[in-house]
Chain A
Amino acid sequence: MLDLLQSLCDGVMFGATYALIGIGFTLVFGVMHKINMAYAAASVGAAYLGLIVFALGKGVPALAVFGAAFVAGGVLGFLVYVLAFHFIPLAYPLATLMSTVGMLLLIDEVIVHVTAGMPQNYPSLYDKMFDAGGFTVRGDLLMIAAVSVVCMLALLALLFRTRLGLATRAVSQQPIAAQLCGIQVARVNATTFIITGLLGGIAGALIGASVGTLSPLLTTPLTVKGLIVTVIGGLGSIPGAIVAGFLVGGLENVVQYWRGVTERDMYVMLLLFLFLVFRPGGLFGGAKGRD
């Protein structure tokens, strides 16, 4: 029983990494009603770019890597917006979907070419393990969970307590009306990408730290998990992405404990299928889609 609980706890904690990616997916969808398929790849790319600070010399603190990843995430987010959204007609949903798939592959291949696919050691910010009578909790995963919640609160504050948030919500709800009111839609969209990019940089760095190693192998599973979390949480719902991240992480680890690794992803897909059939709006989404 302890093993099962431990497995559940590990999975839920690890699900925080999915939640961080899910938040990025959901924020872009919430504002633009578009899926940015390149989000996880850009996050991993930002985490890689964070490692550049080590090239500055010995003795660079690990925190600097995370700071650099944060900034790099913002830059990459803006680049993704410019290359995959700005010049693409937004009225065609498939156009931006495919352009971001292209960006995903491009970022992935750039990482592979620059690093020759070699795994890169990633520093840990907080490696402490909490042990209580054989039951352990990883400190770094706890920190990721905390960061997810802080990000959620910060994003909600940004969306509901600032003029930028007001503009963002206006663009999200009625882009034409927002434009008529003098809001620069393109600027709001670009800002959204920069904000999600900054978040992605932190997410990528925290994921790198939690795995301990960065590899281009991370991009595809994180993209898939991020999308699953976004759908289960409810497209556009930031709290939903967090709860769904924990749910998916917990489920996959428990299934792995019971049924083995080869069946694990099958059950996660089954969960997604059940949501799509019985609750397509996700945990926090409305019963109906947008009109």
Chain B
Amino acid sequence: MRNSLLPLALALATTGVAAQEKTITIAGQGAKSGVVRSFGLNSEAALFAAADQINKSGGVTLADGSKAKLKVEYYDDRCNAEEGISVIRRIAGTDALIAVGPGCSNVAEPMFGILQKKAGDASDTGLQMPVFTDVAIKVGLAKISEWAFRNVPNEATMYGSVFGWLKTKYPDAKTIYGGVEEDFAHSRASWYAVMKEKASAEKYEVLGESKWLLADTNFSNQVREMKKANADVIAISAHPFTTCGVLKEMQRQGVKPKVLVGLTSSSSLETLQGCGAQAEGIIIPTSFAPVSKEGIAAAEATAKFNGSADLHSMAAWENMFILKQVIESQKISGDKAKVQEDRAKIREGLANLKTTNGLMGTVKRTDEREADKPYLFVHAKDNKWAVLHNPSGN
């Protein structure tokens, strides 16, 4: 009896394996808990939405001509450097082809540091895991490792363009004053290394800067400094919670600059929800606004997965389509036993990209594995983000 059942069981098992769909796992990584949970939720939703769309249209083609579906597994790093490193090590131990993330620059920087610096360097025992960042935006991080790639906008280019445009739009504005969230990697770098320099390059006189911390609640001193400086332009390099706190204090103290400029990450729903009225008029460059047919469709698809479309989450969406293209061009086997080989091929494929298709147009890739994305300027208007200016003129 036992002997007669064995072939049947084997046959069933074989049929089951054959009937199983091939999958390529893409690991997402970001904060799904903690105060920047919304970043992770939105990226996760965009990854799932993009994978769903790709899978519905047949999935990805593997080296042997067979089709595979994309499977997304999302990991929570709490926007914490140690947890981020632990997460990427865990991902490297799975069959994930690549990791998309992380969401925070303070995670990305040390995390890229544990990756192999130069691909193929046998003396370097760093992690050989390709990472394709969607959110962490602090300037110049991908150069840390040849396994690190980013599809985030170039803030230096964007703010250079903002201040250049402001110069023509508000010729009377001569001075600028900064407000910076001193203990957050992105905000800090964006003021000191980007906004301040780009404003100076456009001949704005930098009158100084006020500093606060991410969890601060009282901004009276800082806003009084702003008021004293009486600058024509005030640039706030901070995330939504403190941006809102400062904007509300500015309203109380009657600080009304000619122009208010905000941080890229603040062009989100959080700012409108926290202080839509006070943010009215703030100008922010962004690499995403739902202005094209594709952009609107991506935003709608992401909303179905309970995510909101912004410059960060839509980079995650773009990453999935870029990965589909690279998986197919690099002849990825999809064989779980050869995952390291496939990871190396993906790395090489991403490194060779000169341009990619983005929701706002063609994205150029730099030799340092960064993106040069199209962008436009938005401003808060009637509790919504409205397009103010499109530098490309399209």
B164 within 8 A of A: no
Shortest CB distance A32–B (Å): 29
Cβ-closest chain A residue relative to B212: A261
Q: Check if B216 is an interface residue, CB within 8 A of chain A.
A: yes
> How many chain A residues have a CB neighbour from B under 8 Å?
38
Counting chain A CB atoms within 10 Å of each CB, which of B222, B241, B271 scores highest?
A: B241
Asked, given contacts A119-B240, A119-B270, A261-B216, whether A212 binds B248 with beta carbons under 8 Å apart, the answer is: yes
A218 at the interface (CB under 8 A from B): yes
Q: Say yes or no: B218 contacts A119, CB within 8 Å.
A: no
- A93 contacts partner chain B, Cβ-Cβ < 8 Å: no
Query: CA of A249 to CA of B41 in the docked complex: distance in angstroms?
Result: 36
The answer to whether A119 and B220 touch (CB under 8 A), given A112-B35, A221-B215, is: no
Per the 8 Å Cβ criterion, residues 254-286 of B in contact with A are: 269-271, 273-276, 278
What chain A residues lie within 8 Å of B249 (beta carbons)?
212
Query: Which residue in chain B gives the minimum CB-CB distance to A260?
Result: B211
Residues of A within 8 A of B182 (CB): 261-262
- If A112-B34, A213-B274, A262-B182 touch, does A119 touch B215 (CB 8 Å cutoff)? no
Interface digits, A108-139 against B, CB 8 Å rule (1 contact, 0 not)?
01001100111111000001010000001010
Residue A245, interface by CB 8 Å: no
Is A45 close to B, CB under 8 A?
no
Interface centre among B41, B214, B240, B244 (most CB of A within 10 A): B244
Interface string of B336-361 (1 = CB under 8 A from A): 00000000000000000000000000
State whether B35 touches A253 (Cβ < 8 A).
no
Q: Identify A118's interface contact among B214, B224, B252, B274, CB under 8 A.
A: B274
Asked if A168 lies at the interface with its beta carbon under 8 angstroms from chain B, I say no
Task: Tell me the complex Cα distance, A63–B241, Å.
Answer: 23
Contact B215 A118, beta carbon cutoff 8 Å: no
Tell me which residues across on chain B come within 8 A of A95, comparing CB atoms. Answer: none
Contact B275 A121 (CB under 8 A): yes
Please state if B274 and A121 are interface contacts (CB–CB under 8 Å): yes
In the complex, whether B37 has a CB less than 8 A from a CB of chain A is yes
- Nearest neighbor of B269 in chain A, beta-carbon distance: A118
Which residues from chain B contact A138 at a C-beta distance below 8 Å? 220, 252
Which residue of chain A is the closest to B278 with respect to CB atoms? A212
> In whole angstroms, how far apart are the Cα atoms of A61 and B212 in the complex?
32
Q: How far is the CA of A116 from the CA of B32 in the complex (A)?
A: 8
Tell whether, in the assembled complex, residue A212 and residue B245 are in contact, meaning their CB atoms are under 8 Å apart. Answer: yes
Q: Are B224 and A120 in contact (CB under 8 A)?
A: no
Does B221 touch A at the CB level, under 8 Å? yes
Q: Which residues of A contact B41 (CB under 8 A)?
A: 116
CA distance A257 to B219 in the complex (A): 11
Contacts of A220 in B (CB 8 A): 215
Q: Which one of A7-15, A52-60, A155-163, A280-288 contacts B?
A: A7-15
Given contacts A211-B245, A262-B211, contact A117 B274 (CB under 8 A): no
Q: Which of B33, B270, B278 contacts A113 (CB 8 A)?
A: B33
Inside 8 A of B33's CB, which chain A residues have their CB? Answer: 109, 112-113
- Which B residues lie within 8 Å of A217 (CB)? 35, 214-215, 241
Q: How far is the CA of A221 from the CA of B269 in the complex (A)?
A: 25
Complex Cα spacing A260 to B225, Å:
12
Interface residues of A (CB under 8 A from B): 3, 6-7, 10-11, 14, 17, 109, 112-113, 116-121, 127, 129, 136, 138, 207, 210-213, 215-218, 220-221, 249, 253, 256-257, 260-262
The 10 A-B pairs at the shortest CB distance, nearest first, are namely: A119-B274, A212-B248, A117-B37, A10-B220, A116-B38, A215-B241, A213-B244, A217-B215, A14-B218, A211-B217
17 contacts between A and B (CB under 8 A): A10-B221, A14-B217, A14-B218, A14-B220, A119-B275, A129-B252, A138-B220, A207-B217, A211-B248, A212-B248, A213-B274, A217-B35, A217-B215, A249-B218, A261-B182, A261-B212, A261-B213
Other contacts beyond A7-B224, A10-B218, A212-B278: 17, CB < 8 A: A3-B224, A10-B220, A14-B218, A14-B220, A116-B37, A117-B270, A118-B274, A119-B275, A121-B274, A212-B245, A213-B244, A217-B35, A221-B215, A253-B218, A253-B220, A261-B212, A262-B182
